């Protein structure tokens, strides 16, 4: 079995699992409690906060733990909208965001907000002049991703942050796909809000975080107790938080070497596929993207047939975004890039991670020709 | 199925119902390399989402979840393929167009014809499968002359061969019907014996995309209201009343005419072009035969008249008839005795005992002058 869908989720790293297990056993306390059981976990919580802050370049007090990346994105977009409603009702985002941002904006749009969705070019890049021109006196938020989940294309967040800051507008960055894969530095890049998700970097599902830089006005999504400095009510997912801290610590230590290793694997996969199928096309900017992600179109083929065949061969890859029923929808990201529908329909994403090796890549390259030959024979 | 080589890869079309679940279980038990596939053909969220509230809700269909759980139970790979666009184009649009043309369509035949035995079969071949299987109550048999025969399922109450008359020899050769030799009772017993989680599940509804059976509302939601309203007339053309759309009427229908008349009136015909619904007494519903179009023969195409029996709707006992080819995949079907409510748009399927000879679509009723 070969897993090449790390942008969807990652296995929990064994060391992360080791780190979290005590918090499902003896260290079970509620961190808000004053007694020994509470004290046992309170320190771990704050230590994890420091580790997350260290990876993404912010102060520990700026880290708000959430249940997932989607919650973090929702909290940023809706929380800013609620807090700054009196100031303006306009949000600038892009046409290639994750549904967590897209649909939060859609919800706000149905409640009186105006949304500008910036186009991207054929390689998935933003036009910063358009971004600047889209900001008006009613704009309260610019929300873009750091790296695209489907293509891996990286946006120029430092420049985006600079424009937003110059125009006095908050910048929220959905960095769910970037954190742990490429350097992310809220302070250095000028990012005011940043969403991340644990299960994309070796922590379990069910834990994420929103970085809320000091001074940012934001209403909570969840009201209740005073956890997370009143930013996010609800008893903390202590084990998840500890795991996220551990995963961030490990990513900080290993990211550079791991990124280089995965980039060479990814490039081997890509050049292998392009050599086998000269009409295959790479989607997204060839350099300016995550080192782990390859999005490749096979003209004339249907992605789901390809993926089903890969699955039957034990290879997990993906395409577009999956429906809850498990069917595939055509990708709005590739459509926004202007990828022609016949190419978009035949696009497959391989996203690599910790457990992939050269032999995995070679196995995929061995299996693909037979599958593609069979599918082309069906036409 | 004994004739087929074991360990062959076969794709079973799984609806999440008892029949296709048991069919999958049988194939698995017989040693086939089984892959389960559900066809997602309809965005069921359309039925619940209120206007303006519909975000990017994916189609979470209980039946697909059931199919998935059964596949997990059987330990077979399971996939959902999205045929929404094709279903809209090939089945729903056809369904609506047929009603708007004054006919009474049969979407299940269309779905079999264009989706299951065309697109799904193609998808299956793309997965390296030689065959597809369905939970239909029907049988296939290889003749000594190398031709496949299509036979009724042995459970007379469940036989679904009527819905399969469009199958070509190539499709029949690539199709397995594991339930053809079983009764529904046996299938249910097997579902229980296998411990399938859907063993207790009820029968599915007739038209899957019109779950409330209100096809009129469905058509009006697709194409708008006040289409094709006009007059209700008698056989002489005398206007008896008005109606709100010809598609609301089907030959043989008695209710919903809203006309006070000394004797009961039945719909005799629907003329969408003239926006007229013709009504008359019960005995006027009987006709001597019909014209069938787009005929598919399972047997070699006959060059002379064929004595057979035919069903003119699914719930119909076959009646003796003579099929006279009139060229262009058409035939005149003459009933041995007059038959009630020949309905344009329905399928007429020809039988010789258990064997399906072929079938076609009813264009119109015919009455010979006597």
Q: What token pair was written down for B210? A: 């019109």
DSSP code of residue B8:
-
CA B108 to chain centre: 3
Classify residue B226 by burial, with Cβ atoms within 10 Å: 0-12, 13-18, 19+: exposed
- Per-block mean pLDDT, blocks of 10 residues, chain A (379 long): 97 98 96 94 97 98 98 98 97 97 98 97 97 98 97 98 98 98 98 98 98 97 96 97 98 97 98 96 96 95 92 92 60 92 92 98 97 86
Structure confidence at residue B57 (pLDDT): 34
Closest CB from A99, A311, A328 relative to B56:
A99
3-state secondary structure chain A: CEECECCCCCCCCHHHHHHHHHHHCCCCCCCCCCCHHHHHHHHHHHHHHHHHHHHHCCCHHHEEEECCHHHHHHHHHHHHHHHCCCCCCEEEEECCCCHHHHHHHHHHHCCCCEEEEECECCCCCECHHHHHHHCCCCEEEEEEECECCCCCEECCHHHHHHHHHHCCCEEEEECCCCECCECCCHHHHCCCEEEEEHHHCCCCCCCEEEEECCCCCCCCCCCCCCHHHHCCCCCCCHHHHHHHHHHHHHHHHHHHHHHHHHHHHHHHHHHHHHHHCCCCEECCCCCCECCCEEEEECCCCCHHHHHHHHHHCCEECECCCECCCCCECCCHHHHHCCCCHHHHHCEEEEECCCCCCHHHHHHHHHHHHHHHHHHHHCC
**Measured distance CA(A136)–CA(A90) in Å, rounded:** 8
The more confidently predicted of residues B49 and A8 is: A8
* Average pLDDT value for residue range B77-103: 94
A68 is catalytic: no
ipTM: 0.82
- Common-topology check for domains B226-280 and B285-366: no
Question: What pairs with residue B331 in β-bridges?
Answer: B292, B325
Domain B285-366 CATH (choose: 2.40.30.10, 3.40.720.10, 2.30.30.790, 3.30.420.10):
2.40.30.10
Q: What token pair was written down for A81? A: 């909208």
Whether A341 has its CB under 8 Å from any CB of chain B: the answer is: no
Structure confidence at residue B58 (pLDDT): 35
Classify residue B26 by burial, with Cβ atoms within 10 Å: 0-12, 13-18, 19+: buried
CA dihedral sign of residues A172, A176, A177, A179 = positive
What is the set of active-site residues of B? 111, 208
Is the CB of residue B136 less than 8 Å from the CB of residue B180? yes
Q: Which residue's structure tokens are 């196995």?
A: A363
Chain B residues whose CB is inside 8 A of the A309 CB are 126-128
Run of H or E including B276: strand B276-280
Which domains, from first to last, does chain A contain? 2-8+254-377 (3.90.1150.10), 14-250 (3.40.640.10)
For the question of whether the overall pTM of this predicted structure is more than 0.90, the answer is: no
3-class secondary-structure state, position B42: coil
| B226-280 belongs to CATH 3.40.50.300 | no
Q: Would you kindly state where each structural domain of chain B is located, as residue ranges?
A: 9-193, 226-280, 285-366
Classify residue B136 by burial, with Cβ atoms within 10 Å: 0-12, 13-18, 19+: buried
Chain B residues whose CB is inside 8 A of the A104 CB are none
| B27-B349-B274 Cα angle (round to 5) | 125
3-class secondary-structure state, position B349: strand
Q: What token pair was written down for B36? A: 């389960």
Q: Number of CB pairs < 8 Å for A and B?
A: 61
Structure confidence at residue B210 (pLDDT): 85
Q: Which residue's structure tokens are 């262009």?
A: B328
Is the CB of residue B124 less than 8 Å from the CB of residue B132? yes
Using pLDDT thresholds of 50, 70 and 90, give the confidence band for residue B5. Answer: low
Query: B80 and A106 in contact by Cβ < 8 A?
Result: no
* Average pLDDT value for residue range B242-267: 91
The per-residue pLDDT of chain B, averaged, comes to: 91
Name which of A161, A163, A157, A192 is nearest A177 in CA terms: A157
Is the CB of residue B134 less than 8 Å from the CB of residue B10? no
Tell me how long chain A is: 379
Question: What pairs with residue A120 in β-bridges?
Answer: A126
Structure confidence at residue B55 (pLDDT): 34
Chain A residues whose CB is inside 8 A of the B59 CB are 323-325, 327
Closest CB from B52, B59, B77 relative to A110:
B52
**Measured distance CA(B38)–CA(B63) in Å, rounded:** 9
Query: B126 and A326 in contact by Cβ < 8 A?
Result: no
- The active-site residue, picked from A105, A173, A186, A323, is A323
Query: A378 and B79 in contact by Cβ < 8 A?
Result: no
Chain B residues whose CB is inside 8 A of the A373 CB are none
Using pLDDT thresholds of 50, 70 and 90, give the confidence band for residue B50. Answer: very low
Would the pLDDT of B2 be above 70? no
Closest CB from B52, B56, B64 relative to A103:
B56
Closest chain B CA to residue A110:
B52
Whether A107 has its CB under 8 Å from any CB of chain B: the answer is: yes
Chain B residues whose CB is inside 8 A of the A319 CB are none
Query: A326 and B68 in contact by Cβ < 8 A?
Result: yes
Chain B residues whose CB is inside 8 A of the A323 CB are 40, 58-59, 80, 82
Summarised one tens digit per residue, pLDDT across range A101-151 is 999 999 999 999 999 999 999 999 999 999 999 999 999 999 999 999 999
Record: fold of B9-193: Rossmann fold (3.40.50)
Run of H or E including B67: helix B62-74
Structure confidence at residue A136 (pLDDT): 98
Query: A325 and B80 in contact by Cβ < 8 A?
Result: yes
Structure confidence at residue B63 (pLDDT): 84
**Measured distance CA(A323)–CA(B57) in Å, rounded:** 8
**Measured distance CA(A370)–CA(A366) in Å, rounded:** 8
* Average pLDDT value for residue range B293-317: 96
**Measured distance CA(B361)–CA(B143) in Å, rounded:** 26
Closest chain B CA to residue A328:
B82
3-class secondary-structure state, position B55: coil
Structure confidence at residue A321 (pLDDT): 56
Name which of B335, B338, B331, B341 is nearest B321 in CA terms: B335
Would the pLDDT of B320 be above 60? yes
């Amino acid at each position: 079995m070969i897993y090449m869908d790390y942008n969807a989720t990652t296995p929990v790293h064994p060391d992360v699992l080791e780190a979290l297990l005590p918090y499902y056993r003896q260290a079970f306390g509620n961190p808000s409690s004053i007694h020994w059981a509470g004290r046992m976990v309170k320190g771990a919580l704050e230590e994890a906060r420091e580790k997350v802050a260290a990876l993404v370049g912010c102060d520990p007090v700026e880290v708000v733990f959430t249940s997932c990346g989607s919650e973090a994105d929702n909290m940023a977009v809706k929380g800013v909208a609620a807090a700054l409603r009196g100031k303006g009702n306009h949000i600038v985002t892009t046409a290639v965001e994750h549904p967590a941002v897209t649909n939060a904006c859609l919800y706000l749009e149905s409640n009186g907000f105006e949304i500008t969705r910036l186009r991207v070019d054929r390689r998935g890049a933003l036009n910063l002049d358009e971004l600047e021109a889209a900001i008006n006196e009613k704009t309260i938020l610019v929300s873009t991703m750091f790296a695209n989940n489907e293509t891996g294309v990286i946006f120029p967040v430092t420049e985006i942050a600079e424009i937003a800051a110059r125009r006095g507008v908050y910048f929220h960055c959905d960095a769910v796909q970037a954190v742990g894969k490429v350097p992310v530095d809220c302070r250095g890049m000028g990012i005011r809000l940043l969403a991340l998700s644990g299960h994309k970097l070796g922590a379990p599902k069910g834990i994420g975080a929103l970085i809320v830089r000091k001074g940012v006005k934001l209403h909570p999504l969840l009201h209740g107790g005073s956890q997370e400095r009143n930013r996010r009510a609800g008893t903390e997912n202590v084990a998840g938080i500890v795991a996220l801290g551990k995963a961030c610590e490990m990513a900080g230590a290993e990211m550079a070497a791991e990124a280089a290793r995965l980039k060479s694997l990814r490039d081997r996969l890509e050049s292998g596929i392009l050599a086998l199928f000269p009409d295959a096309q790479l989607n997204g900017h060839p350099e300016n993207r995550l080192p782990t992600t390859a999005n490749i179109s096979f003209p004339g083929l249907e992605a789901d047939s390809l993926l089903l065949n890969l699955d039957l061969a034990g290879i997990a890859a993906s395409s577009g975004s999956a429906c809850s029923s498990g069917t595939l929808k055509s990708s709005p990201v590739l459509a926004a890039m202007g990828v022609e529908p016949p190419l978009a329909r035949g696009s497959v994403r391989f996203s690599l991670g910790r457990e992939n090796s050269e032999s995995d890549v070679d196995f995929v390259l061995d299996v693909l020709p037979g599958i593609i030959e069979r599918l082309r024979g069906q036409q | 199925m004994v004739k087929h080589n074991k360990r062959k890869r076969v794709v079973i079309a799984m609806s999440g119902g008892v029949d296709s679940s048991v069919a999958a279980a049988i194939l698995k038990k017989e040693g086939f390399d089984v892959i389960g596939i559900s066809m997602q053909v309809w965005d069921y969220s359309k039925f619940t989402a209120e206007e303006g509230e519909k975000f990017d809700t994916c189609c979470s269909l209980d039946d697909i979840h059931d199919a998935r759980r059964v596949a997990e139970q059987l330990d077979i790979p399971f996939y959902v393929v999205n045929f929404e666009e094709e279903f809209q184009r090939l089945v729903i649009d056809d369904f609506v167009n047929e009603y708007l043309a004054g006919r009474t369509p049969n979407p299940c035949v269309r779905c079999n014809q264009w989706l299951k035995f065309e697109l799904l079969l193609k998808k299956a071949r793309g997965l390296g499968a030689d065959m597809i299987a369905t939970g239909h109550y029907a049988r296939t048999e290889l003749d000594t002359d190398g031709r496949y025969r299509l036979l009724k399922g042995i459970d007379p109450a469940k036989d679904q061969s009527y819905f399969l008359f469009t199958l070509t020899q190539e499709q029949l050769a690539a199709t397995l019907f594991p339930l053809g030799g079983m009764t529904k009772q046996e299938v249910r017993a097997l579902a229980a014996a296998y411990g399938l989680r859907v063993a207790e599940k009820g029968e599915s509804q007739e038209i899957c995309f019109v779950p409330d059976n209100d096809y009129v509302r469905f058509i009006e939601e697709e194409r708008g209201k006040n289409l094709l309203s006009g007059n209700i007339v008698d056989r002489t053309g005398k206007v008896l009343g008005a109606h709100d759309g010809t598609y609301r009427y089907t030959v043989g229908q008695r209710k919903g005419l809203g006309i006070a008349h000394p004797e009961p009136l039945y719909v005799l015909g629907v003329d969408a072009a003239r926006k007229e619904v013709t009504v008359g007494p019960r005995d006027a519903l009987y006709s001597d035969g019909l014209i069938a179009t787009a005929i598919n023969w399972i047997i070699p195409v006959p060059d002379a008249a064929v004595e057979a029996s035919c069903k003119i709707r699914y719930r119909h006992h076959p009646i003796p008839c003579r099929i006279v080819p009139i060229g262009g995949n058409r035939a005149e079907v003459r009933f041995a005795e007059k038959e009630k409510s020949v309905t344009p748009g329905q399928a007429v399927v020809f039988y010789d005992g258990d064997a399906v000879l072929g079938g076609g679509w009813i264009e119109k009723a015919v009455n010979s002058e006597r």
